[in-house]
Structure 1
Amino acid sequence: MNIALYDGNNSELKQIKSCIRALDNYEYKLETFGDKSDLLARIHKNRKEFDIYFLSIDSDTPDGLKVAEEIRKVNLAALIIFMSQDDSQMSNVFAFHAFDYLLRPVAMEQIEISLKRARKYLGGNQAYVEFSFKREKFVLLLDEIIYVTKSGRIAYIHTKDEIYKSYLTMSEIVTKLSDGRFIRVHGSYVINLNYVTRIVRDEVFLCTFEDSSAEPKEAAISISRRFKEDFQKSIEEYRIPYK
């Protein structure tokens, strides 16, 4: 797990860092940030680099909410754990899908419990997929992926907001997406059944988006004979009408 810790209060930053470092039962990489601009620069440069963020939202460091806003613009999969002196900000963190809210003084036991839950969440049921491209690491929720297509050495992972690239082989793609919602329909395509809008003869139509503000559109993908039988079984389970 890659963890980012942000706290504008240097003494608090050292205290939380010390607590996390003392937990020797976890495999992780921890980086600390005392300046909001430094963390934001990393977020926008590497996008999905960190799995977990500890963010301070105390009265003297209110920028934690702004950091959370920027995180969610580029990363829906990361877990955000807020730290505060009181619960006055609790109602504000729901908009950022907060994973936990810790009250100061934060004890080591609190951090350990949160990290145990985080490990279970991140490792459970393949709720997300990790991959890399040119030394950049990405983490996507499975629900974000509309379909994956392979062209030459490059795999193109289509989501609602962006198309990611990877050197994953088709075998690796199928393994990573070994979830009931994904099915291979062609030698070069794996689709998410949750985005299927209709099926006409040997074509499946998926709901896609050109950008986050655009109206949904459809992408047509051919169903090859090799995968047609498995595809038909899958859509029967999903109760998708086949014309």
Structure 2
Amino acid sequence: MKIALCDNNQKDMGTIEKTIQLHTSQQYEFDFFTNGEKLVRHLNEIEATYKIYFISIEMTEMDGMALAQQIRTFDLEALIIFIADNNQRIPEVFKVQAFDYLLKPIDQNDLLETIDRANNYFNAIQAYFEFSFNRKLVVLTMSEIIY
């Protein structure tokens, strides 16, 4: 699963990566970005998408809310998790369907709980529908079903 970490504080990004790598069994691929412009440029250049975005809400130039709004223009399914120094901007994050809002310094238990919920969410949307047709078992993921 691909995760984008966007924060101008490299120590915080390293803490997130290290905690997730050490305490979860699932394999994750991390990409680091020091500002929103670099992340947007990367997304546009190689048409990459991520399942999870950890975004610092307080960044210079392009703040986390502006970045999340840009992400939502082309990706409505990714989970956006904001990281912030305080809880003043919590009401704003609902406008971009944020998955969570973690306060710095990031508590290891809170981070792992968020990752567990994210995995449960992805497992739930990967549900499948099973039926028989002409004596053959057909299995479709829910995302494959149109109507």
Common fold by TM > 0.5 = yes
5+ residue gaps, structure 2, are 128-138
**In the alignment, what sits opposite 1:28?**
28
> Runs ≥4 in structure 1, deviation > 4 angstroms?
59-62
Contact 2:35 2:60 in 1 (8 A): no
Give the distance between the partners of 1:75 and 1:16, measured in 2 at CA.
23
Higher helix share goes to which structure? Answer: 2
Give the distance between the partners of 1:48 and 1:6, measured in 2 at CA.
15
**In the alignment, what sits opposite 1:95?**
95
Q: Superposed, which structure 2 residues align to 1:14-53 within 5 Å?
A: 14-47=14-47, 49-53=49-53
**In the alignment, what sits opposite 1:176?**
141
Give the distance between the partners of 1:119 and 1:94, measured in 2 at CA.
21
Give the distance between the partners of 1:178 and 1:9, measured in 2 at CA.
37
Displacement after TM superposition at 1:110 (Å): 1.3
Higher strand share goes to which structure? Answer: 1
* Identical aligned residues as a percent: 32
Opposite residue 90 of structure 1, the aligned amino acid is: I
Displacement after TM superposition at 1:48 (Å): 5.7
Q: Superposed, which structure 2 residues align to 1:84-123 within 5 Å?
A: 84-123=84-123
Q: CA RMSD of the aligned region, Å?
A: 2.6
5+ residue gaps, structure 1, are 128-173, 183-191, 194-243
Greater Cα radius of gyration, structure 1 or 2:
1
Give the distance between the partners of 1:86 and 1:36, measured in 2 at CA.
20
Displacement after TM superposition at 1:89 (Å): 0.7
- Offset from partner CA, 1:196-220 (integer Å, 9 cap, x none): xxxxxxxxxxxxxxxxxxxxxxxxx
Displacement after TM superposition at 1:63 (Å): 1.4
Opposite residue 103 of structure 2, the aligned amino acid is: L
> How many pairs are equivalent?
138
Displacement after TM superposition at 1:36 (Å): 1.9
**In the alignment, what sits opposite 1:197?**
none
Distance 1:45 1:25, change over 3 A: same
**In the alignment, what sits opposite 1:126?**
126
